[in-house]
Each structure stands twice: as structure tokens, then as C-alpha cells.
Amino acid sequence: MQTKTPDGEQFLSEFRKDGPTVMAQRYGVAERNVHAKRRRMEAKHGVIVSVPTRGGFAINLNQHPAAIQLHIKEGIVLIGSDAHYWPGIISTAHRAFVKFCQDLNPVAVIMNGDAYDGARVSRWPDGSWSDMASKPTVISELTATMDALNEIQKAAPKARHIWPLGNHDARFESRLLQAAPEYAQVHGVKLKDHFPEWEPCWAALINQDTVVKHRFKGGMHAPQNNTLWAGRSVFTGHLHSMKVQPITDYNGTRFGVDTGTMADPHGPQFANYTELNPLNWRSGFIVATFHKGRLLWPEPVHVLGPSEYEFRGKVYTI
């Protein structure tokens, strides 16, 4: 027999505790109707309600020491990644990112891994002796990265500045750990010691349903697989491809997002690494807008060429 489902806090409490299937059976309604009401309650109360986990061992991300929590009801988060900052080069994407920081007043700026390249501390063999000679020193790369991130900080002084660690970022301390483990507790041997204004983490968690981390799945379908496996919207870098892939199921719509690269795909950072192959890479970054606690469709800012980028159907020069 069908009965009216509860409203307000009672509905939210039951949904969190029992989940949509049990509630549908309890009140004799279709499960999709329970989800529809859940979405209405979320919009009305400005909260996000997740489906409870059944069985197994779920990770309590809210209490994980390597995660940063962000609760955003209204506001913009700028997400860039894979800048691979290089001495003497200021990319079009970086200049556009700074402008967006100034114009959009974001509540958070996330540099989603690999701001630092670590050309001379890579575990991969060099292409040639001349290649090694052309690579910047560790200190020159650090300086270039510090200058770029300081510019972003000044452009968005009120935002939180968050830096999920990337695999290139990890080169800095991995090399030191292998060569001189005795220095483990000395200030300066960790990359984060050089960027005290940026909050380091493995992942930034927004409103319980969005994850920003450097990498998860691999391959050309990684954004789709990331959100399928995670059950949340997932923003990753690492693959440099910049794309937005929505997934809609009984829980609603969520997004798998590759945030692209803020470097020039044909820059010196990648000259020998890519072996002059065609690259399915795109330079730019992502604007993530939250309204009533819900992530709206993520918007790419795509670099068209030197000093040109497109956003919302218009081309801009910078």
C-alpha cells in the first residue's frame, strides 16, 4: 500500500540511514520517486545526501588525514593541473588562469598536481646527453614554480589554495628519500616546505559528492571510469586531455572531468618524452560552479593558440 513519504529532516534522516531501496519498499513507491524527492530536499535545504554503503569496508574520507574538506553552497572553484612550470616560460593557460582568479573571485583555487616538473630528478632515462644539459636545475624549477603560484595567490587572495600531490611533484622528495634518507625530518626536503601558502593533500573533497585528485584510472576513457568507480564527480589531471564526461543513473548526474594541462603540450617539458607523436592533449583548465551545494556542468577554458583561449563560445586574447 502506498503511503506518503516524510518531509524535511525526517526524510533526510531515513534516506541517510536506510537508503532509497528500503524507503521505496517501506512507503510503497518507486525508487526513482524517492531519488526525485531526495533531490528536491537537497535543493530546499542546501545539503547533499549520499546513499549509504552496504557491506564491505567503506573508507571514511571525511576523517582521512590526506584529504581536505570543502563545504561550498554557492561559489566557484578554479581547477588547473599539470602546469609543469619551466623557467622562462609563462603559458597562455597560466595567464588566463590568473585573469580568471582576478575576475571570478573563486572560493578555492586547486592546482591539481604536477605544478612542478622535476626534469632532472626523473626516474626515466634521458633521451641524450644534450637533452640532459638542456634541462633546468632543481632550484631554477622551484623558483619558476614559486613565482607562478605566488602570482595565482595574489590574484585570488581570499580563496583557499589547495595542491593535491602529482606524480611529478613527488619526484622532488622521492629522489631525496632514495639518496639521503637520513635527512627525512629536515625542513626543505619535502616539496610542500617550499610552498607554505598552499595546502597539500592527496584529494580535495567538496560537498561529499565531488573529489579532486591528480589521478585515478588511466586510458582515454579515464574520466568516465573514474566517476563510475568512485560514485562521485571526479576531477583529475595527469592525462592532459581536458574533457567533461557526464554519467547519469538512479542517483542523478555526476561528472568525470580531465582538467587538461596548463602547460603548452609542445613545450620543452615534453619534447623528448613524447617522441614527436601526435598528442591527444589540450591546454587549459576548468571552472567548477556550485549552486545550492550542487555542482553545475563543469566548464572548460580551452587554449586555442598563443595568447588565445575560448570560453562559453567566445574567443579571447590575453
Instruction: For the chain of 318 residues, list the mean pLDDT of each consecutive stretch of 10.
Output: 79 83 86 86 74 56 80 97 96 98 98 89 56 77 94 97 90 74 76 90 94 95 95 96 95 95 93 85 98 96 97 97
Which pLDDT value is given to residue 223?
96
How far does Cα 257 stand from its chain's mean position?
8
CA angle 171, 60, 113 (to 5 degrees): 25
pLDDT computed for residue 45 by the predictor: 74
Radius of gyration of the chain (CA): 22
**Which pLDDT score, from 0 to 100, does residue 101 have?**
98
Residues paired with 310 in a beta bridge: 302, 315
pLDDT of residue 186: 80
Does the global pTM surpass 0.85?
no
Q: Give the integer Cα–Cα distance in Å for 24 and 15.
A: 10
